[in-house]
Structure 1
Amino acid sequence: MSRAMQPEETSSTTEASAPPVVPMHVRAWNLLNKSGIVVAFVVLFVLLSVTVPDFLTTRNIQGLLLSVTLIGSIAVTMMFVLALGEVDLSVASIVAFAGVVAATVITQTHSVLLGVVAGILAGGAVGLVNGVLVARFKVNSLIATLAMMEAVRGLAYLTSNGDAVMISQESFFALGSGSFLGISYPIWSNIVGFVVFGFLLNKTVFGKHVLAVGGNSEAALLAGLPVTRIKIMVFVLQGLVTGFAGVMLASRMSLGDPKTSVGLELGVISACVLGGVSLTGGVATISGVLVGVLIMGAVQNVMSLMNVPTFYQYLIRGGILLLAVLFDQYRRSRRRV
């Protein structure tokens, strides 16, 4: 009798151990969620190449890549801030402040090295203040960085006496205009940034901790993660990298300008959200951010080629940001289903 029951038992065991069948629409959504932004960029790139004159020329592609270096250099660390479930609206002011500090120090000391270091550290100092306000004093990051956006822009004007600071050291200009193997230094710095911060996000304990804190900070705290220290480190990192971006921009402009980069923070956040970084934290991919940066750059490049009036450009950029936020909300609703 036990022998007669054996085949039936084996059959039931096999059925129990079989993996669940994933519906076709769920598999299609998972694939779209992972590669949809890449597909969208490829379609957009092909469409622009066919319809927009001079878009696919070597000179224009080089110009496009150079034009996204400022947003790209900051997006790699804004990705970490957003992955924490926080936001940093002070980056544009940090760019201006770091450029002014670098220009002022170079003018007074005639030392390019001191100027570069001072500009980067100035950005890091602002990032430290942001981090302490958000992590230690529990101030909402939107409010804290909005306040710092105004305060740091004011510091930039005070440091420069309200005017641009001209730089006379020609060796400083090579940082923003020099090239290696036919590729300009700002593009190289972006390539290095995406590689380094992609590795930091995907291959290190720090990256996993950032995503864990952004996914559920209370659970991360109960698991023993130093949540406060992680948040401060991310904001300091954001400040240092943004300070470097400000120094690079000052080198390209040959001056430190307290009025530069107004509205830059919206472009950076748009690129990150387009690239799949969740505004509620816990989700980020470096490849998605790269594609988001390229989409923002391609749209801006085409508007320039087609001589689109400035006020229409504001409308288009605002529409892109709104669509990115709506898409992020849609993705989150799909993940909850």
Structure 2
Amino acid sequence: MTETNAAAIGAARETQGDRRRALLWQIVDDYSLILIFIALFAVLSFTVQYFFSWDNVVGLALSVSQIGMVACTMMFCLASRDFDLSVGSTVAFAGVMCAIVSNATGSVVLGIAASLVAGALIGAINGVVIAKLKINALITTLATMEIVRGLAFITSQGQAVGVTSEAFFTLGALELFGLPVPVWITLACFVVFGVLLNKTIYGRNTLAIGGNPDAARLAGVAVDRVRIAIFLIQGVVAALAGIILASRMTSGQPNAGEGFELNVISACVLGGVSLMGGRASISGVLVGVLIMGTVQNAMSLMNIDAFYQYLVRGAILLIAVLVDQLKNRRQSR
């Protein structure tokens, strides 16, 4: 064997090794989160009493239903290099608005409609200020978070607003094929927004904006219009979550949804949505929501003090952000 042939064989083997490593990393990226959730669920099923019971599994699904539906739209915000800190306040305000309008008109339908319109208005304001006035998403949504929370307290006079109509409670308590309606609504959100992300121009434009806004604009994408649409839809879905939460709590409460936005963002980042934009996966977000809810549920069953639960949730978020940074660095090489 000549020296040239040996060098060629060595180069071919090195190339094959690089391909194997790249394939391995791709498999890790695609399936690691799912495998982690399966392993976590299996371990908790054998080690935590009542965790694997049907009532607890249904309760787990119900507890993450509002976070799940809002995470579907937060995914689009993060994928476009933005985020929305006002969703928790929108959840509270929508619940209060629904209760007040329902009581005043005697119509739950009008109450729901008013809340959805309010959510759309909040989202549209966020989108216009960010896209047209070029104000940072952090500052904009932090301001609307405070404003909308204040409106929730003002309109309710700082008190929980009860609803007299029994039909309002049905939305949160009704079951269909053994699962509560809020769980079915959340599953529908994952299907709808998964299709939007993967099968439509809207989803492709969102990822393009997150990847490189200037390049997307040069390619003919209406960047400002897409960003406004993302925040408008975010507001509507947050309002829907607020209506369902108020139905479950049997009243609109101005202090509802505190810390909600952080739980939603944590689930998205844990699910592989990049904080740098341009990368998102609806299946990853679903698994991220389930992991966050599973950990919370297990800690509650084990009677772990709430102070330690804060530590665990914070650690999970930090690990998710570190993993996201490592992925971005590896892809930039």
- Shift in Å, 1:92: 0.3
Equivalences for residues 27-106 of structure 1 within 5 A:
27-106=23-102
Equivalences for residues 1-337 of structure 1 within 5 A:
22-337=18-333
CA distances 1:148-203 after superposition (whole Å, capped 9, x unpaired):
11110001011111111110100111011101111110000011000000001000
The secondary structure found in structure 2 opposite 1:187 is helix
- Shift in Å, 1:22: 4.2
- Shift in Å, 1:24: 2.1
CA distances 1:261-316 after superposition (whole Å, capped 9, x unpaired):
10011110010011110001000000000000000000010011011111111111
The secondary structure found in structure 1 opposite 2:258 is coil
| AA at the equivalent of 2:289 | V
Following the alignment from structure 1 to structure 2, what is the Cα–Cα distance between the partners of residues 239 and 131? 10
What is the alpha-carbon root mean square deviation over aligned residues? 1.6
- Shift in Å, 1:255: 0.4
Q: How many residues align?
A: 322
- Shift in Å, 1:20: 7.5
The normalised TM-score by structure 2 is 0.94
| AA at the equivalent of 1:265 | E
- Shift in Å, 1:25: 2.0
| Residue number in structure 1 paired with 2:8 | none
User: Based on CA coordinates, which of the two structures has the bigger radius of gyration?
Assistant: 1
Following the alignment from structure 1 to structure 2, what is the Cα–Cα distance between the partners of residues 178 and 22? 54
Gaps of 5+ in 1: 1-18
The secondary structure found in structure 2 opposite 1:228 is helix
CA distances 1:195-217 after superposition (whole Å, capped 9, x unpaired):
00000100011100100011000
Following the alignment from structure 1 to structure 2, what is the Cα–Cα distance between the partners of residues 231 and 237? 10
The farther-off stretch of 302-311 and 19-28 is 19-28
The normalised TM-score by structure 1 is 0.93
| AA at the equivalent of 1:261 | G
